[in-house]
Structure 1
Amino acid sequence: MTNAQSQQQTAISQLLHQAVTQHQAGQLHEAETSYRAILEIYPKHSEANHNMGVLAVQRKRSAESLPYFTVALDADPTRGRYWLNYIDALLQAGQLESARQVLALAQQQGLHGDAVDSLAGRLQASAQLAGQNNTILQQAANKKINPGKKPSLPQGKNPSQKEINTLVALFNRGCFAEAAALAQTMTVRFPRHWVGWKMLGVVFNQMKRSADALVPMQKTIAFLPDDAEAHNNLGITLQELGRLDEAEASYRQALRINPGYAHAHGNLGVVLQNQGRLNEAEASYRRAIQIKPDYAKAHCNLGAILHDLRRLNEAEISLRRALQLNPDYAEAHSNLGITLQDIGRLEEANASHQRAIQTDVNVADAHFNLGNSLKALGKLEEAEASYRQALQINPNHAPTLNNLGTILHDMDRLDGAEASYRRAIQIKPDYAEAHNNLGSTLNALGRTHEAEASYRRAIQIKPDLAEAHSNLGSVMHDSGHLEEAESSLRRALAHKPDFSMAHSNLLFCITENSTVDAQQLFAEHCRFGMQFESPLLRNHQPHTNSRDPERCLQVGFVSGDFRNHAVASFIEPLLTYLTKYPQLSLHAYANHAADDAITMRLRKSFAHWHPISRLPDATLAENIRSDGIDILIDLSGHSAKNRLTTFARKPAPVQLSWIGYPGTTGLKSMDYFVTDQFFLPRGKLDEQFTEKIVHLPASVPFSPDKNAPPVTRLPTLKNGYVTFGSFNRISKLSRSVIALWSQLLRALPDSRLVLGGMPEDSDFETLVGWFSQEKIARERLDFHPRSDMHSYLARYQQVDVCLDTFPYTGGTTTLHAIWMGVPTITLAGNTAAGRSGASILYNLGLEEFVAYDTTDFVRKGLYWAGNPAELSNIRAGLRTRFSESAMSRPDLIAASLERALRIMWQRWCAGLQAEPFGVTQNEITDAQREHGQ
């Protein structure tokens, strides 16, 4: 015996001792685990097989015990208790004839005594005495057959043709339990004949008892080494047990014996597919089909391979051929649905999944796939129902729980989403996608640190999961860690270069980075265009829209923010007036899954509402063309839920970007960027845009909150010291911003700083540390978390003057501050993002709050801190000043936008290229008077 064999024998002995101890202690589950561990090492171990049989009988599963007793007896027929317990199990299973035959065989081999007589009595008394006490059996438990009469199982005898026919008939009728029992009896009565072993292995395979099928399959091969079918059957068993390399070897041996064996080619294809060897698998399936053209399963599997290879049209052909051959083939219907969904034919996909369920309602995967299809159609409540039906059939299917979590998240049922993801992870702890999705839900719940941990766990499990890197980058960005955010986002793109949202997130991130200059920023935006637009340019199709310059225009607005979001607050007042123009027909393309009260209001302003969050770019672009859109308006830029990769396909003759993002899209297909002369002075920053600049009297209207608290007296008049404030998001509070603000705070030792809008679990200590490095004490800083709108606005009553961030200056927060009587000192930058604050102040005639460099910023801060009377007068008049500005005139901005759209359209009708232009307030006043408005 070699050293390795000795070690293996020792391990088996230790496992057997452990198993028997557990068994005797009544720890049946633990004992079974230990016995199975022995059988993994040595499948023919007599004692482990025998005791597995005893376990099954104890659990009232007599039929399941029989193959274990068979293997035990075959390995060691000298053990009397093996015979006795086998016969007892046959009796308990109701197999009286088999029990009679095995008892007779045992007696022929020399087994005698009280226990044998008791079994004979039970046989005679039939079923009424089946529960008789087994004490006599236990007394004989260790009794061996007389060594002087060492038995051998009968040899040279074959089952009759009638017995074989009966066994085959049971198998063909699907009576697998009865077939298994008869096959087991055959292996005892005729252990040297192949038929019982072969049929037993096949029956166990059909019963999904692959572990039990293995030994019968192996014995069959020993009897029939040149039987291709036997090798194929062994391959099926090994494949089910996850032993793919051995399964492949068995299939290849079958094919060496019979190269024209179609099913072996098909099964080999499955193994190769499971190993990720898709091209080899495709070849195997095609060979199977060449041999057997009506082989529906091979056509179905070939379709699945072609789908995985992204050859979707070929996949559809193969799957439809499978269904021609077998119209009730549920798996083929499901695979066809998946393929059609990926092609973008969602309604057809849904129909295929419905057909799969009609074919077999109890297949969890069919309900799962239907849920995916309904999710893609945006029918989230129906998708939820399908996922829950799948979970009733298979409660432990982690992908279903994961996908259920995603739709619950989309429906803003975040607690339910969290629970679903956590259940998926409990079932499958290494499920990286579920960890990633859990992170997104935790982030939405405001639990930033937990979200970060989930993303990091996902990356630890699956380092190339680009989505997790991107999400980690976003949460790092939102918490103000810009360098780490940028690194994470670049890692996401390294793993997945075509990940457009990660690229957009990167652009948003570096827009806030003061170390990135204007030229670098523009170059990065252009790289987005090169990655996602350049490959599509050659495929742009001519537009067939009627070139009538005065006709009614079909205008589409694309946004993921037709909901409780700043963009909606800007667009809603405009829609009130835009809907009054009879020459405009408005379409909304809503790229968000869940609606809210604001969504319901906005829907009433559009003649057409199109949910698009689940549509692929190609499908959406085709739909936009089919809708006859003349002018398509992007309201997102590179912010979340954008569809710039659809705009890159140029689905409309005229395309423009507006409101959602302070910078270029980087796309040549985007014709115009709409703004005002304060945000982008004429000719000043044009070189930072791929679009042509169009100026309106004001970029957007702003509607103050109707329930805003009143403007109060300037706090410094009561406090005796000046209070600065900032309500910008934490990601804008960079180290350089803190350094500049600290210069002002150091110059005014009694001044204080209010920092509002902080995420609840923000790491304030980083900010506190930066201020400390600048010699600003913690007690001068007043942090406040995010709150409801009224409380947020009331916080401005404590502030004398706000300090702006850079290089990404404030927008909505600056407008809120204005309405509450608080001006903002801003540093006008040399990028669009750096001019947002300045544009608002210029619009209101507050140029004296716009600084041109850091020295000027500090100087202006000191000036206003030292002139409280002047600042108080400005505070008192800001609401009036705002109400008299263009920003408070949605009617004016709507009219100027309508005029701009008509100019854009007329240029396209005339075959002219896009060029910069502007619409002045005087033009609009004249136009309004002319139209009687």
Structure 2
Amino acid sequence: MRSTTHKAASNDIFACLQSDTPDWDFLHAHRLLNVFTSVANIQEKVDGNTPSTLRHYVNAIETGIRLSPPLSSGTTLTFRDIILASWFASLAFSTLPPSPEPNNILDAIQDRASTNHLPHFDDTSLALVHAVHHASDGFIHAMLDPITGTLPNVVLFPDQAQMLSVVVFASPHTTSDVWAALHSGQSTYEVKTATSSALLTLARRIQEGALIADLGLDIPHCSSDALVLLLHYLALSLFPSASAFNDTGVVLCGMSSNAASNTPRVACGRDVARLYYEKGLQIDPTHPHLLSNFGSLLKDAGHNTCAVGVFNYALQLHPELDIALVNMANTLKDMGRPADAIPYYLKAVTINAGLVDAYCGLSMSMNAVCNWTARAQHSADHWLTNTIVICEENLSELHRQNIGILGERSVDDWLLNVALTTSRPQCDHSLRRWVHRFYLFTDVSDGRQPLLNEGSFLIRLIDWYRTRMQHRRYVETYGETLYSEEASYSQPRAAPTAKLFGFVLSSASLQKVPTVLPFHTFTLPLPSRTIRRIAHRNALRVSHNIMTQISPDRVPLLPRPPWKRRINVGYVSSDFSDHPLSHLMKSVFQLHDQDRFCVFLYATSPSDGSVFRQYFEHGDFNFLDVSSWSSVDIVNRIEEDHIHILVDLGGYTRGARNEIFAARPSPVQISLMGYAGTLAASWCDYLVCDSITCPVDLFARVQAYRKQSLNYCCQHSDFGVPHTYFVTDHKQSYRHGENLSVEERAQMPAEKLWNDEIKCRTDLRRALFPDLPFSCQNIFATWLRILARVPCSILWLLRFPTAGEAYLIQTAKEWAGDEITSRIRFTDVAEKDYHIYRCRVPDLFLDTSEVEIDCILSSVLWAGTPIIACTWPSHRHKMSSRVAASLASATGFGEYMVVSSRDEYEERAVALGNSMCYTVQPNGDGEISGDLLDLRRRLFLNRDTMPLFDTERWTRNLEKAYRMAWKRWVDGSMFRMSDDGCIWVKDDIDVPIRMD
């Protein structure tokens, strides 16, 4: 009843303004405006973002508009007029200089507007809002972005935004007493601040999920993100406060990279956001959120030292500012200083116990420095437990987005677009399933489902639609042609396309992502469904971003059938540089069968000048530096190159450009090497893995095919290669230890090779540990028990980060005593070549349980050092926790190194360690023997023939999978649920083992 009373009262007040009553007191106008805003705020608390609530904010804004003299008797300006006029003015600003005024838009205004009202930006007496009021609907269509089909996001510089209200609200009736009052005096200040506040509040409501349709604007093709930005511009121009500049900067930072701007360099709002922060700080140099956000922007741009300086200044002024504390801690953590970050995180959670970012960062930093006592679930502070709980709550909250947008169209409209994906009528069973899906969102007879995220469903639907439409066009143009002898083809025939996806998606707010990032899930004890949902939320955000740049109704261009059986394979990475990924994959691209594959490399990061980058730039393949290109330009280039299979080497790692893949420039898209886990993205068709790292029953289609539970891990299909998914390049790149080629080494007597290795290893051990006579929390306890059970053994750890050493020593003393602790040794990080050289020093390398450093493991095995790897039943759903077992198995000696439980892990390590026997010869020399040394000998002598280091064999097997994937796409079996969707490759080559 309360909300009904509010609605009636506000409508009565608003009716007074619309009536032909005598002039009312302008000096008190701001009070009436504040009434509407207050009523809206109260109703929002009671009813939420209902249409009537939003209309109260609109009424408040329109109150200010009605201070302007009417155009003619009975004509009143509306909120819609202001929005459209502001959009036009923003577009005009964004194209000046040097572009002329957008004549096509002016022509549309002239359809019905008097020429006296046409805007000229050198004339402050223009009547833009009046001209727009009389313009036809063609005016809106003239402003649409030709790529996205929506009213565009427009990037304005601060001085341009400040001029917006002057241009929009200026009137030729300058002699009017009322209008004159609007430009002077205290009453003007009050009206402007009140109107600005109403605009910002309305923008926040839209950001929180309110539908644009509920505003009653009747502006088609209006996206929520673009409208929110425009409302901020208007608010700032009316009242340019420090807070307004801050809020506008925040919106710009969250924008996708597609926007109209007056400079080609401005690819995203972040560049311009800095100008807004700086402008705001000129008004108020002590503004807490401006300082914090400005520092975050500097951090994201890679200026960490400057960011720390800004945060320090902010915290001197506002020592209790929780968000600045978290931002400072995040920056220090990213700079490799987790120990310095911890005090800031601790203070932040003390001030604000509900700060999600602080708990997550604190848990990660505690783990980085091995401070497990404070991180543990049973500790007094239980940061880890809080992080996990907050993560689950965060995911649940993200479902409450974009409720109601699918209901803007009927079920029949949606079914019509689904039908476009096939040239054949749908069967009754398929039709019923689609009807059921859409009724979940559009049927409100029993009340709306509050936890259905319609925006995410719509994005997945668009991805599904585009892949099917691309395949349909291919088949209709080329038939089921796998390969062709024709060098050129005519353009594909146009097929019917959807028209409503862009219209409906424009109403959806940008998909939000959880605080816990996908990469964080490697070290958090989360169930498989939670890990997948975190990745999936990030995938949705990526898809939504690119759909604001490329129309969601657009069907990707078709590649021509592979000419002369050569499939075009594109690899996209930000790591074509001196990076572990390049170290491991360096030879793969050159080893591709040039008669069957044409290789393209797209580098999304600039050159680091390293020998690795130079190798790629001058290699015998198509290399292109696209680091300065927009995502849209990269997508267009990939389509122009007719890429059949596109490979993502980044995943959710730093520097990845996943928007490229979300645009679907290639029929088949694959995730390989860069990210050891599921992307949970509809734009990733396959994950390259093996049977150890990714058990087949964890894949979605396998579970659906076998009618098992939905608690799956991987949303895409399995792309299983034999032996191991992990590729190495040691056989080609790291032979300088012996300075022997593969052929020379094969001819060398085994005893000579082995004796030389023993001498080299002994000398290196003495150099590293001259004082020795002739070494995550649960795993550390296991290591300490192994130390206790293997006499005279030492535990050799990397000093990284440095702060972790003290915590490990303290923990070891508490758990195992001083004698065991004295046998723990630390050394610093080494250069790559020396690191590989010294990997021969340890007798046994112990695997970790959470995240394995796979590039280090491969170097250890190349040196001949055995490892103990575990398939960890508790981590069966984590690919990153099973890589070591995969690598060990690919040596051919996995039965000696791979175990299946923690108890077996400890027993195997103790047995191998105690097998070592040192025998003194009569001449005083010593001789070491035992099972561990025998295993080392086998690994060392067979490294040139074992699958793990046979890069050429690995590449050939990958090529088999590529050909199978292309065939499945062409014949359509990739889209049918008649099988589990997996591709498994068999190795045709036997593995020779040298036992001498």
Residues 803 and 826, structure 1, Cα contact 8 Å, conserved in 2 = yes
Residue number in structure 1 paired with 2:970: 909
Residue number in structure 2 paired with 1:472: 362
Deviation at 1:753, TM superposition (A): 0.9
Distance 1:364 1:461 in 2: 27
Residue number in structure 1 paired with 2:888: 841
Residue number in structure 2 paired with 1:826: 869
Distance 1:909 1:263 in 2: 72
Deviation at 1:769, TM superposition (A): 2.4
Q: Is 1:812 paired with 2:855?
A: yes
Given residue 718 of structure 2, which amino acid in structure 1 is its aligned partner? I
Given residue 550 of structure 1, which amino acid in structure 2 is its aligned partner? P
Given residue 715 of structure 2, which amino acid in structure 1 is its aligned partner? T
Deviation at 1:900, TM superposition (A): 2.8
Residue number in structure 2 paired with 1:215: none
Residue number in structure 2 paired with 1:675: 689
Deviation at 1:458, TM superposition (A): 4.1
| CA deviations over 1:469-526 (Å, ceiling 9, x no partner) | 443343244345364345325425635744999759466555546x76xxx4256425
Residues 158 and 279, structure 2, Cα contact 8 Å, conserved in 1 = no
Given residue 443 of structure 1, which amino acid in structure 2 is its aligned partner? K
SS in 2 for 1:674: strand
Residue number in structure 2 paired with 1:574: 588
Residues 757 and 786, structure 1, Cα contact 8 Å, conserved in 2 = yes
Q: Which of 743, 763, 785 pairs up with 2:785?
A: 743
Residue number in structure 1 paired with 2:444: none
Residues 559 and 642, structure 1, Cα contact 8 Å, conserved in 2 = yes
The count of corresponding residues between Structure 1 and Structure 2 is 645
Q: Aligned runs of 1:298-447 on 2, under 5 Å? A: 316=87, 327=121, 349-350=154-155, 355=160, 377=267, 396=286, 401-402=291-292, 404-406=294-296, 408-410=298-300, 412-447=302-337
Distance 1:417 1:633 in 2: 35
Given residue 839 of structure 1, which amino acid in structure 2 is its aligned partner? S
Residue number in structure 2 paired with 1:702: 728
SS in 2 for 1:769: helix
Residue number in structure 2 paired with 1:693: 718
Distance 1:350 1:531 in 2: 25
Distance 1:534 1:356 in 2: 28
**Compared with structure 1, are the counterparts of its residues 554 and 386 closer, same or farther at alpha carbon in structure 2 (3 Å cutoff)?**
farther
Residues 394 and 515, structure 2, Cα contact 8 Å, conserved in 1 = no
Residue number in structure 1 paired with 2:904: 856
Residues 809 and 834, structure 1, Cα contact 8 Å, conserved in 2 = yes
| CA deviations over 1:57-76 (Å, ceiling 9, x no partner) | xxxxxxxxxxxxxxxxxxxx
Distance 1:470 1:344 in 2: 39
Residues 671 and 692, structure 1, Cα contact 8 Å, conserved in 2 = yes
Distance 2:591 2:969 in 1: 25
Distance 2:697 2:123 in 1: 65
Residue number in structure 2 paired with 1:550: 562
SS in 1 for 2:677: coil
Q: Aligned runs of 1:526-605 on 2, under 5 Å? A: 529=536, 543-546=555-558, 548-551=560-563, 557=571, 561=575, 565-577=579-591, 584=598, 586=600, 588=602, 590=604, 601=614, 604=617
Residues 562 and 568, structure 2, Cα contact 8 Å, conserved in 1 = no
Distance 2:81 2:348 in 1: 28
Deviation at 1:274, TM superposition (A): 11
Distance 2:859 2:852 in 1: 14
Query: By percentage of residues, which structure has more helix?
Result: 1
Distance 2:625 2:271 in 1: 19
Residues 821 and 876, structure 1, Cα contact 8 Å, conserved in 2 = yes
Given residue 861 of structure 2, which amino acid in structure 1 is its aligned partner? I
Report the more deviating stretch, 261-270 or 912-921. Answer: 261-270
| CA deviations over 1:339-390 (Å, ceiling 9, x no partner) | 99xx999997446668559999x99989997996999737999987997788
Residue number in structure 2 paired with 1:884: 945
Residues 577 and 891, structure 1, Cα contact 8 Å, conserved in 2 = yes
Unaligned runs of 5+ in 2: 1-13, 42-52, 95-117, 129-143, 167-236, 256-262, 378-382, 400-510, 704-712, 739-756, 917-927, 976-980, 992-996
**Compared with structure 1, are the counterparts of its residues 511 and 303 closer, same or farther at alpha carbon in structure 2 (3 Å cutoff)?**
farther
SS in 2 for 1:761: helix
Distance 1:355 1:400 in 2: 20
**Compared with structure 1, are the counterparts of its residues 271 and 661 closer, same or farther at alpha carbon in structure 2 (3 Å cutoff)?**
farther
Residues 668 and 966, structure 2, Cα contact 8 Å, conserved in 1 = yes
Residue number in structure 1 paired with 2:338: 448
Residues 825 and 851, structure 1, Cα contact 8 Å, conserved in 2 = yes
| CA deviations over 1:856-911 (Å, ceiling 9, x no partner) | 33343234321343544654675653333444444444444344334322321222
Distance 2:82 2:351 in 1: 26
Residues 410 and 594, structure 1, Cα contact 8 Å, conserved in 2 = no
Q: Which of 665, 672, 679 pairs up with 1:665?
A: 679
Deviation at 1:779, TM superposition (A): 0.9
**Compared with structure 1, are the counterparts of its residues 770 and 878 closer, same or farther at alpha carbon in structure 2 (3 Å cutoff)?**
same
**Compared with structure 1, are the counterparts of its residues 465 and 742 closer, same or farther at alpha carbon in structure 2 (3 Å cutoff)?**
closer
Distance 1:720 1:752 in 2: 13
Q: Which of 804, 812, 828 pairs up with 1:762?
A: 804
Deviation at 1:283, TM superposition (A): 1.8
Distance 1:556 1:791 in 2: 33
Per the normalisation by structure 2, the TM-score is 0.52
Distance 2:765 2:93 in 1: 83
SS in 1 for 2:678: coil
Distance 2:590 2:308 in 1: 39
Distance 2:151 2:734 in 1: 43
Residue number in structure 2 paired with 1:488: 387
Per the normalisation by structure 1, the TM-score is 0.55
Residue number in structure 1 paired with 2:498: none
Distance 1:724 1:623 in 2: 61
**Compared with structure 1, are the counterparts of its residues 802 and 275 closer, same or farther at alpha carbon in structure 2 (3 Å cutoff)?**
farther
Distance 1:405 1:724 in 2: 54
Distance 1:285 1:491 in 2: 38
Given residue 853 of structure 1, which amino acid in structure 2 is its aligned partner? S
Given residue 416 of structure 1, which amino acid in structure 2 is its aligned partner? C
| CA deviations over 1:631-673 (Å, ceiling 9, x no partner) | 4433344555667788678675333222133333344553211
Residue number in structure 1 paired with 2:929: 869
**Compared with structure 1, are the counterparts of its residues 403 and 530 closer, same or farther at alpha carbon in structure 2 (3 Å cutoff)?**
closer
Report the more deviating stretch, 637-646 or 738-747. Answer: 637-646
**Compared with structure 1, are the counterparts of its residues 580 and 767 closer, same or farther at alpha carbon in structure 2 (3 Å cutoff)?**
farther
Deviation at 1:451, TM superposition (A): 1.3
**Compared with structure 1, are the counterparts of its residues 762 and 585 closer, same or farther at alpha carbon in structure 2 (3 Å cutoff)?**
same
Distance 1:619 1:305 in 2: 34
Distance 1:625 1:265 in 2: 57
Report the more deviating stretch, 259-268 or 822-831. Answer: 259-268
